[in-house]
Structure 1
């Protein structure tokens, strides 16, 4: 049987399985292909070639293209002594993008981790041994802590440092799912709940109602999700520091290993973290790094940091804008922190600030700040933000328009 006949047989077999395949070399040049679409072939080859240095013995990748998701299974092979990688391409049908669900490859997770405030300040240091050990136990890991304490970033670091970085990382924000998204998660065969080998990070438990909580937990239990995937659950503490009823229920139901992400205030030396972030900004903009005066250091260290790394990014950026390569003195630090106290942490599942709302400003300004905070948290989903705030979309639009930002 000649090579053309073999290729025809392979093409028919792959087509019957809803897939196609190509083989590329280290430069991304295509050696052989059953892909009928030349543009698709080129895009897939380039996408895989960019990631060959971390694929090793093979990987499963996800690729978004023209509103669809492609599943790519990549395996190395040899042909006459030259390295080739075989890529099996399958279009995931019915897997349209859903708000709150995101599929990422290891390089994308790493890029996001390194650009996050937590990643910039903490670097790529290994997560504490007890957390890593819990992650490796084969049961879901519940990462709890204050708002913005780095739970999701810790989950990403565990994924990157662990043995499953050759499979996709999928994040599910339960508080951002639409009704259509919930149906996809609970019923679709393409839901991450019905896959194998993924690292699955699920957040936003405190926003889930009783019925959907029962449905989700039942599906996870009935399908033995934790035996097929690495499951990391994250939750924000409720006001007063307690865990939400939903998080407590899930933790008990799955006998989760539990770890608490330490708050910045608990760690102490917040000024050191601010200094690291200022150095990052200075490097990014090609300037000398600002310095912190002794009094500014004391002011930053004494602050409560209720939104932790989320707030540390905001404070550091404001300080850099105000002083450039100069010195941050106490007055500047106090000014920036006073702006932070405009909002009494009116976010979801977050501990309240010890201070009240900053009152030396019009009420309308405070309302606009709260509206922006909610919209930002929901990644621009204004319909959901209006529901959370208990106002009409027209009222929300007016609040945001008045600020014109």
Structure 2
């Protein structure tokens, strides 16, 4: 099937395929009676007629006029209307005027669509007519031989049968279309052009009306064949996503984020002329800047990979400890609940799951549950631009156990209402000593969403812990282009045997202190004991953390509290921004923004 592109309304542009050259003068004479139409003429029968049409097709014809088998082939191959020149009673009288006298029975041989036109008229003739109708060209010779074997008084044929009869040496009479038939076909073609032009004008009007309301229309058949698209050139790349989604059968509303815009798509199934169609209305808006909403960030795969490569977990080759869990996550399409002690690598495991998933070409949305302020929360739950309405992406709800009862219940309800697990990969994390100690909210979310619960082992159980300190110190030395200090056996034993209640965050803090504070080419057991005492942290909990947060006035805007908490964490970590970000449970990017806000506020106070 060959399709012609849609064009603006214009003067009727009509292609006429004459089945034989002798017909051209009459065709051109009748065409002069239609000054408001433009006609082009070609000659050819069957395959030659199709070749002629295709040769001229670049001229954007609105209608093609032909006859007999050629018209039938053109109708099968072209998407534009094909008008067939018929045969009227006067045409039959003219065609039979040269038949022998005393004719009592004749044979009519030709394509079925031609013979069907003349069959009702044969009752007016003074002799009988037997019909030898064919559907394909290779049936023609056999049909003519059957007619010849029956010794009719005469044989009348359409153009193709007439030429074949002459090749076989048989006498035949040609069925011709007179001026009245030609005129009727031309008039019908012009009417089709006028109706199509009016329909195109109405369609353009409806398109403009929809676009003025910010809506485009797309229509598919149930098997994914595109019927109509009102999308602009900029948005045509959405068509593959729309087709994939309707074939998946997931819900009646979804969101696509693409090239800085958010597309909201609503789906409805309708029936038109006994064909079930899927109608999609598409509205779009500029995507909001994620930085406006504290605790909600979007990362692409490159960003995630860089962050993972620079993590303590990766530096000490902790992937070995997380690999079995990552393999389990890859084999399931269900939501995942990661549980374990604070800072034990749940974030890094979520990143690994994302990078190995089918959605890695789409953003990873990280929702820091403990950092969601009122504005961020309202955006997450109520806005149609929220990640909860996106499709084909990965959403990581970090520390979902930090949500108050009212919030985790609202989040669960929104996820179920939008059928989010059917459209995107969901990962939750919750800080607990083991799966049996999961908070009530986390347990209900896992149960209601049928999550696969994976318990992330604490650092002290990792097989890679022995040798981890050497790897991390070597990494720090390479960053400074210096030699790494050596750990004496006593120091190594203390580091391996330490319970690491603060897991990766505490490990990083202690090793950073050892690298900075050691004196000499090696690190001793005494150095390790001192570092463990100084850097005994567990996610900023305990008496020391309480003393450092006593100065924070909590009766004020949450954004100010977050800003000052970032500054306090940085002071606690002696200026190590990576360590401070880890303690706060945020990305380095978020920490930098909070620190910039703090500096801006300090500058305002000074002025």
- Cα drift, residue 130 of structure 1: 4.7
Deviation at 1:382, TM superposition (A): 4.5
Does 2:435 correspond to 1:250? no
Question: 1:146 touches 1:241 (CA, 8 Å); kept in 2?
Answer: no
Aligned partner of 1:178 among 360, 365, 373? 373
Cα offsets for 1:235-276 (capped at 9, x unmatched): 111699822121111111111101111101122563421211
Partners in 2 of 1:300 and 1:373 — Cα distance? 34
Q: 1:316 aligns with which of 511, 514, 517?
A: 511
Tell me the residue number matched to 1:55: none
SS of 1:280's equivalent?
A: helix
1:324/1:272 CA distance change after superposition, 3 Å = farther
- Report the Cα offset of residue 136 of structure 1: 3.8
Shift of 1:183: 0.7
Q: Given the alignment, which residue of 291, 301, 315 partners 2:496?
A: 301
Q: Taking structure 1 as reference, are residues 105 and 149 closer, same or farther at Cα in structure 2, changes over 3 Å only?
A: same
Instruction: Give the superposition deviation at 1:345.
Output: 5.3
CA distance in structure 1 between the aligned counterparts of 2:523 and 2:508, rounded to whole angstroms: 16
Deviation of 1:175 (Å): 1.3
Shift of 1:398: 11
Report whether the alignment pairs 1:105 with 2:300. Answer: yes
Kindly indicate whether the alpha-carbon contact (under 8 Å) linking 1:290 and 1:328 is maintained by their aligned counterparts in 2. Answer: yes
Q: In 2, Cα distance between the equivalents of 1:238 and 1:146?
A: 5
The correspondence of residues 176-215 of structure 1 with structure 2, limited to 5 A, is 176-215=371-410
Change (3 A) 1:209 1:163: same
1:119 counterpart residue number: 314
Aligned pairs for 1:133-172 within 5 A: 133-172=328-367
Of the candidates 237, 261, 286, which is equivalent to residue 481 of structure 2?
A: 286
C-alpha displacement of 1:174: 1.4
Larger Rg: 2
Q: CA deviation at 1:127?
A: 4.6
Residue aligned with 2:316, SS: helix
SS at 2:437 equivalent: coil
Does 1:227 pair with 2:422? Answer: yes
Cα separation, 1, equivalents of 2:571 and 2:476? 30
Q: 1:373/1:325 Cα in 2 relative to 1: closer, same or farther (>3 Å)? A: farther
1:132 corresponds in structure 2 to 327
Within the candidate set 561, 569, 573, 1:383 is matched to 561
Shift of 1:284: 0.8
- For residues 349-389 of structure 1, give each alpha carbon's deviation from its aligned partner in whole angstroms, at most 9, with x where no partner exists: xxxxxxx86xxxxxxx76444569999xxxx9552599xxx
CA distance in 2, matches of 1:337, 1:374: 30
Tell me the distance in 1 between the aligned counterparts of 2:285 and 2:345. Answer: 35
Root-mean-square deviation (Å): 4.3
Look up the match of 1:332.
527
Task: Check whether the contact 1:106–1:160 (CA below 8 A) recurs between aligned residues.
Answer: yes
2:395 corresponds to 1:217: no
Task: For 1:282 and 1:216, locate their aligned partners in 2 and report how far apart those are by CA, in whole Å.
Answer: 45
Q: Helix, strand or coil for the counterpart of 2:429?
A: strand
Q: Distance in 2 between matches of 1:325 and 1:158?
A: 42
Q: Residues of 1 paired with 2:502 and 2:341: CA distance?
A: 7
**1:165 aligned counterpart, secondary structure:** coil
Q: Distance in 2 between matches of 1:404 and 1:277?
A: 19
In 1: Cα distance, 2:484 partner to 2:451 partner: 43
Verify the 8 A CA contact 2:290 2:298 in the aligned structure 1: no
2:349 is paired with a residue whose SS is helix
The 8 Å contact of residues 62 and 168 in structure 1, kept in 2 or not, is answered as no
- 2:319 & 2:305 partners in 1: Cα distance? 10
Structure 1: gaps spanning 5 or more residues:
20-33, 36-59, 64-68, 73-88, 348-355, 358-364, 387-392
- The unaligned stretches of length 5 or more in structure 2 are 9-203, 217-232, 235-255, 264-283, 576-607
Cα distance change on mapping 1:145 and 1:194 into 2, 3 Å? same
Residues 340 and 323 (structure 1 numbering): CA distance in 2 closer, same or farther, change over 3 Å? closer
TM normalised by structure 2 equals 0.45
**2:585 matched to which residue of 1?**
none
CA distance in 1, matches of 2:379, 2:437: 31
User: CA separation of 1:92/1:299 partners in 2, compared to 1, >3 Å: closer, same or farther?
Assistant: same
Give the alignment of 1:44-63 within 5 angstroms. Answer: none
Cα distance per residue 1:162-196 (max 9 Å; x no partner): 22211110000111111111110111011001000
Q: Which structure has the higher relative contact order (CA within 8 Å, separation 6+)?
A: 1
CA distance in 2, matches of 1:403, 1:281: 16
Q: Is the contact between residue 174 and residue 204 of structure 1 (CA under 8 Å) also seen in structure 2? A: yes
Evaluate the alpha carbon distance shift between residue 248 and residue 263 of structure 1 in structure 2; reply closer, same or farther with a 3 A threshold: same
